[in-house]
């Protein structure tokens, strides 16, 4: 056989092998996934910050493949990890703190414990990466992507196709408005006015994200903060089993967030924002094995890292039955349940105008 014939056979074999590998591994449903948020999605960005809001110690990460040094505020995977799996990424999305080289083309996680929409939120605990700072970090990532691809048009096209999720606002209440000893916001604003000011600032941030090329953006509302073990411990329980006034404050913000999403979709060309309703998702749905709804799985600290797991203490063994791992954060199984319903809505109220599985299919 001639050398040219050998080349043709070699080429056919290589193409066939590539197709087979692609079929086995599969491609993600979007080329990249960028994650903005607080400790619900933080996967190590706070590890090297001067802050008590970090989770790179045992018993955090007890069920995570690499152990506690991963920096997730739960026993295993967080919500963003599970969404990445549902979207069929082979690996976890890396934290901005360590993401380098071509891996950033698949996405970056900017999440930071105690971060908020407002820059001062969470300062009591030390350093944190606010939403504004996360947007600055995303600018850095975009410059790096431009450098890797050496083509601004190609980079823009890539960014337009990615999925973006935003989980912000929890700490603007927990570690700001509800702590008048450390923050003046509750003295400056009524609950209604604070919700209005917060929504306006968040709107500007989401428009900035759109300006950086984001088109498919899933924005979570604030869940039932009044049902967190830490809040019921501090404020006591109403007949509902939760702290009603906190949930009422949060609802004022959520009531503004949904029309804000509609406004962005109406006024920004090509925008595909969607509203993920954590309140709906956490208020009932498919049967699960949860039996403990109001207590933490781990022994929590009452000193420096108040409400977080006490370092070195053994957590509960029946972790799949607990909603909360510490006084603030969900267990791995609760994160999975939330991710699944964010991706595929179980109730019509779970997502508006579409769930994440529909969002990533939009053109």
Please state, rounded to an integer, the average pLDDT across all residues of the chain: 93
What's the CA dihedral at 338, 72, 258, 210 to 10 degrees?
-130
pLDDT at residue 25 in the model? 55
Give the C-alpha separation, 40 to 28, whole Å: 23
Per the annotation, the verdict on 326 as an active-site residue is: yes
The answer to whether the beta carbons of residues 77 and 84 sit under 8 Å apart is: no
Indicate whether 296 pLDDT > 50. yes
pLDDT at residue 7 in the model? 37
Indicate whether 2 pLDDT > 60. no
Q: Of residues 326, 342, 350, 352, which has the active-site annotation?
A: 326
Average pLDDT over residues 27-52: 98
- pLDDT tens sequence across 300-354: 998 878 999 999 999 999 999 999 999 999 999 999 999 999 999 999 999 999 9
In 62-213, where does DSSP find H-type helix?
A: 79-86, 131-149, 152-161, 170-172, 185-188, 191-211
pTM of the model: 0.92
pLDDT at residue 287 in the model? 67
Give the H/E segment covering residue 294.
Answer: strand 292-296
pLDDT at residue 24 in the model? 42
pLDDT at residue 79 in the model? 98
Per the annotation, the verdict on 329 as an active-site residue is: yes
- pLDDT tens sequence across 228-273: 999 999 999 999 999 999 999 999 999 999 999 999 999 999 999 9
pLDDT at residue 13 in the model? 36
β-bridge partners, 33: 163
Indicate whether 223 pLDDT > 90. yes
Higher pLDDT, 143 or 2: 143
pLDDT at residue 288 in the model? 79
How does residue 160 score in pLDDT terms, banded at 50, 70 and 90?
very high
Which segments of 18-140 are extended strands (E)?
Answer: 33-37
DSSP characters for 209-258? HHHTT--EEEEE----GGGSHHHHHHH---TTSS-HHHHHHHHHHHHHHH
- What share of the chain in percent tops pLDDT 90? 89
Average pLDDT over residues 194-216: 98
Domain annotation for the chain: domains and CATH numbers: 29-359 (3.40.50.1110)
Q: Of residues 81, 130, 220, 329, which has the active-site annotation?
A: 329
β-bridge partners, 43: 72
Indicate whether 6 pLDDT > 70. no
Q: Of residues 39, 112, 130, 220, which has the active-site annotation?
A: 39
Give the C-alpha separation, 286 to 31, whole Å: 30
DSSP H helix total and E strand total for the chain: 12, 7
The answer to whether the beta carbons of residues 268 and 16 sit under 8 Å apart is: no
Indicate whether 43 pLDDT > 80. yes
Indicate whether 15 pLDDT > 60. no
């Amino acid at each position: 056989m001639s050398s040219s014939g050998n080349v043709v056979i070699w080429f056919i074999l290589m193409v066939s092998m590539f197709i087979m590998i692609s079929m086995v591994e599969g491609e993600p449903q979007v080329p990249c996934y960028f994650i903005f948020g607080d400790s619900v999605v933080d996967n190590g960005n706070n590890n090297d910050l001067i802050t008590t809001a970090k989770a790179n110690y045992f018993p955090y990460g007890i069920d995570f493949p690499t152990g506690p040094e991963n920096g997730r505020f739960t026993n295993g995977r967080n919500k963003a990890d599970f969404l990445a799996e549902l979207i069929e990424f082979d690996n976890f999305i890396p934290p901005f703190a360590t993401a380098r080289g071509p891996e950033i083309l698949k996405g970056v996680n900017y999440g930071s414990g105690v971060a908020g929409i407002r820059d001062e939120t969470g300062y009591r605990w030390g350093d944190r990466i606010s939403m504004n700072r996360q947007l600055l970090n995303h600018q850095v990532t975009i410059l790096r992507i431009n450098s890797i691809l050496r083509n601004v048009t190609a980079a823009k096209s890539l960014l337009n196709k990615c999925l973006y999720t935003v989980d912000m606002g929890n700490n603007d209440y927990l570690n700001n408005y509800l702590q008048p000893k450390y923050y003046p916001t509750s003295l400056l604003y009524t609950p209604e006015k604070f919700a209005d000011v917060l929504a306006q600032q968040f709107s500007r941030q989401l428009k900035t994200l759109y300006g950086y090329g984001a088109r498919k953006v899933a924005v979570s509302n604030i869940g039932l903060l009044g049902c967190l073990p830490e809040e019921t411990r501090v404020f006591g329980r109403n007949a509902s089993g939760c702290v009603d006034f906190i949930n009422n404050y949060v609802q004022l913000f959520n009531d503004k967030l949904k029309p804000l999403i509609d406004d962005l979709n109406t006024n920004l060309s090509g925008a595909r924002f969607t509203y993920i309703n954590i309140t709906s998702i956490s208020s009932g749905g498919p049967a699960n094995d949860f039996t403990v709804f109001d207590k933490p799985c781990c022994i929590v600290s009452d000193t420096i890292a108040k409400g977080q797991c006490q370092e070195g203490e053994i957590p509960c063994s029946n972790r799949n039955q607990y909603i909360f791992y510490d006084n603030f954060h969900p267990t791995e199984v609760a994160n999975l349940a939330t991710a699944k319903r964010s991706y595929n809505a179980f109730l019509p109220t779970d997502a508006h105008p579409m769930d994440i599985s529909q969002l990533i299919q939009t053109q």
